[in-house]
Every structure is written in structure tokens, then in C-alpha cells.
Amino acid sequence: MPEHVGGTELYTQTLARYQVQMGHSAAIFTPSATTPTGTAPSAQDEDGVRVYRAGLGAHGRFQVFRNTFSNKQLDGAFTAVLAQEKPDIIHIQHLMGLPPSLIERIQAAAIPYVITLHDYWYGCANAQLIANDSGDICAGPDKTYRNCGRCAIARAGKANLAWLSPMVAPLMRYRNGRLRRIITQAYKVIAPTRFVQTIYQQMGFPDDNFIVIQHGIEVPEEKIERILRERPSSPPHTLHIGYIGSIAHQKGIHHLITAVNQLPHDGVKLTLYGGLDAFPEYVAHLRQLIRHPGIQLAGRIARDKIWAAFASFDVVAMPTLWYEASPLTIQEAFAVKTPIVASRIGAMPDKITHGIDGLLVPPGDVDALRAALLSLLENPTLLPQLQSGIKPVYTMTQQARDINIVYTNATHT
């Protein structure tokens, strides 16, 4: 933050702030594209958290990937921060774009570290287990790593050179071997859902040091209470569908638009919030798909407006096509008693109970998605039933306390 605003960044920022409120001293180390290369990182106070931004300068995907093997500047910057901070414990939120040598510095200083898994990056270089050459969901590296080689070549925009995959495969094997050791040597590896732990098991990672602690969210209770008090009842046979998140192909938004196109034009709205500049070709495709007058691509929404937006929806749609690890959107929607229609894939069934607090449909099944939304429109008792089934959400306060137990055990072992 603020160079990139995503789930991992928001989570890290919020957790660190809560740790400071609990009386701890917290510092964050992060690579920075806007900080000049070679600039010695100095602490900037952000809500009581010291943030060190190590300068990388402008860089692309290849540079991020190359950093997985080595980056002397980042290594030196981290070594300096480590000597200055002298932490009791280090919590790794993500290593993408950072060299594994940082872990060697941590181990040399005899500092315990824990890892939170926000995706599948330690076993999959593109982090999402989606094959870049085919767009299909992947089971992870095969025995030869040639599938990883093909994926890496396709990600570089050279799919026509897939025949080179046997030569790239050893590099991918080496990458995963280094990252696997980082996982196994951690004091604890925190998986946000049981599904994430299972996927890492299936990719061959030993999970003796894994522990499941779900992500918590920051809940502004007074604000939410006011929003719920003032929440108007939707007229019968109307439906406001909402989406808040990345506007990207793997999120399945094209299937959602296609499904809503087939719903009645009167009384149905679909509002899609998310940045429109990251994948302009996909956004252009979505605009071409829109046939329903109630569909709006609303762009990015300010963080302080999210709660009111969730409450303005009758239902939140999450038609994802990939293995979502633990989307905070679910808890944010549930915090304001808004049910969810989602794909039955990844961690979604871990967090949404079909027929109780939401509806689950097969991923990529437009007809099933349309039918689920239509049932909410035609059955006036279904939405209140799902709203009543939503349980209190797991908060950041609760999670910070649970993680603090992990820290305490790690530093007293």
C-alpha cells in the first residue's frame, strides 16, 4: 500500500495496526516500484506502524520472477532493516518479488518466522493454479515440471515456444525446491482455510507445521449498526446484485454479465465495483457483452464506501473460476447481512453454506448462475431466509489474538 491495493496488502496493513493497538511494536518491509533503486529504506510512520520501502524502480513480471532467485539490493536493504529493528519474530505475508536469501538472513539471526498463505505461490509461480497456456485450473507441478515450463513460457507471451518447456522445467523445479524449504523451516504456516492446506498437501508440501486460522476483518460496529438501521427494504420482485473486487477474467465476471443479461429488465440491477485499468482488453470485452440496461461498470470504490455499498445490494455475486484462498469479500458482505451467490470452487464452500447464508453454483455454469439469481427474484421469502442464516463474522480483533498465541509460542520455544 498504496502502490498496489489488494487483499494481501489490506490484510497486512490492518493486522499490523491491530498489533500496535495490542501494545506490540510492528514494522513492515516491502519492495517499492516508486522508491528510487538503491535508496536505503527509512521508516515511515503509518498509523503507528513503521513501513520500510526498498527501492526497486519500475519493473515487470520478469523482474518479479527473477527476484525469486536473487536480488542483492533487496537482500542488502532487508539486512539493514533487520539489524535496525531486531525483531523477536517475523511474519511473512508474501515473498513474491523478494529473494529467498531474506530467509537465510532471518535464520542466521536465529529469529523464528511464520508464514501466511494468501494464495498458492509457493507451489505455483503464477500463484493462482491457473495454467497460462490453456486457462484451465492446474493441479500444480507434475513430476517433470514441464507443465510449469509451458506455463512460464506462456506467461512471458511466448506460447508458440512451448517446445522449450523441457529446458525451462529445471529452473521451475529449482524455484519450487527453494520455496518448499522455506515453508518446511517456518515455525508455523497459517492457512486461512482448510481448502488451502489441502491444496498444498496435494502439491506435495509436508504440512506438519500448518495451522488453520481464518482471515479476520475490521468491523466498524457503530457504522454498520447505523447502516443496517437505515437499510431500506427492497420492493417485491426487484433484485440489486453487487460485485466488489478485481475486474479480471479469473473472477468470472463475463459469466455473471451473461447470466444477468437473461434476467428481466425491470427491477434488476447489477453494479460492478473494481478498477477498470488493470486489464483493459477484458473490460472492453465486458462492455461488449452487456445487453441488460441495469448493468453498470462502476469503477473503483473508496474503502470507506464499501460497507454502504454491500448493504445496498440484495445479494453479492462471486462467480469466480479459480481456487480463491479466502476472499475477505465474503465476511464483508456477511457483516452487513448480505447473502452471496458464489461458485462452488476453492474455499467458497468452506465459508458459504448453500441454502443457509448463500447459494453455490458450479463454476462457469451460466445457466445455474442465472437460475440462482432468478430464484431470489421470484421467491420473496428466500432472501430474508438467507439473511437470517448469516452468523457473526470472525473479526480482526479475534484473529490478532489467535496469531498472538502463535507468536508467543514461537518466541518461547
The CATH label, of 3.30.450.90, 3.40.50.2000, 3.30.460.80, 3.30.2140.20, for the domain at 7-217+396-411 is 3.40.50.2000
> Among all chains, which residue has been given the C-alpha cell 529445471?
170
Instruction: Determine how many CB atoms are found less than 10 A away from the CB of residue 277.
Output: 9
Coil, strand or helix at 404: helix
pLDDT given for residue 391 in this prediction: 95
In 33-89, which ranges are continuous DSSP H helix?
61-67, 72-85
Cβ atoms 94, 121 nearer than 8 A: yes
> Among all chains, which residue has been given the C-alpha cell 451460466?
366
pLDDT given for residue 313 in this prediction: 97
pLDDT given for residue 345 in this prediction: 96
Indicate where the chain has its CATH 3.40.50.2000 domain(s). Answer: 7-217+396-411, 221-388
pLDDT given for residue 205 in this prediction: 95
pLDDT given for residue 247 in this prediction: 95
> Among all chains, which residue has been given the C-alpha cell 440484495?
314
- For the chain, the straight-line distance linking the first and the last C-alpha, in angstroms and rounded, comes to 33
pLDDT tens track, the chain, 413 positions: 777 777 788 889 999 999 999 999 999 999 988 887 777 788 999 999 999 999 887 777 778 888 889 999 999 999 999 999 999 999 999 999 899 999 999 999 999 999 999 999 999 998 999 998 888 899 999 999 999 999 999 888 888 888 889 999 999 999 999 999 999 999 999 999 999 999 999 999 999 999 999 999 988 999 999 999 998 888 888 999 999 999 999 999 999 999 999 999 999 999 999 999 989 999 999 999 999 999 999 999 998 899 999 999 999 999 999 999 988 899 999 999 999 999 999 999 999 999 999 999 999 999 999 999 999 999 999 999 999 999 999 999 999 999 999 999 999 97
Instruction: Determine how many CB atoms are found less than 10 A away from the CB of residue 362.
Output: 11
**Distance (Å, rounded) from C-alpha 177 to C-alpha 316?**
40
Query: What is the DSSP code (8-state) at residue 219?
Result: -
Cβ atoms 151, 175 nearer than 8 A: no
Query: What is the DSSP code (8-state) at residue 340?
Result: E
Q: What is the pairing mode between strands 49-55 and 43-46?
A: antiparallel
Domain covering 221-388 assigned CATH 3.40.50.300 in the classification: no
Spell out a b/e string for 123-138, using b for 16 or more CB atoms within 10 Å of the CB, else e.
bbbbbbbbbbbeeebb
Q: What is the pairing mode between strands 340-343 and 358-361?
A: parallel
pLDDT given for residue 148 in this prediction: 94
pLDDT given for residue 132 in this prediction: 87
pLDDT given for residue 173 in this prediction: 96
pLDDT given for residue 82 in this prediction: 96
**Distance (Å, rounded) from C-alpha 178 to C-alpha 197?**
19
Distances (CA, A) of 90 to 17, 23, 69, 103, 210: 15, 16, 21, 10, 16
**Distance (Å, rounded) from C-alpha 359 to C-alpha 369?**
9
> Among all chains, which residue has been given the C-alpha cell 432472501?
383
pTM for this structure? 0.90
**Distance (Å, rounded) from C-alpha 337 to C-alpha 387?**
6
**Distance (Å, rounded) from C-alpha 103 to C-alpha 132?**
29
Helix pair 280-289, 253-261: axis angle to 10 deg: 10
pLDDT given for residue 347 in this prediction: 94
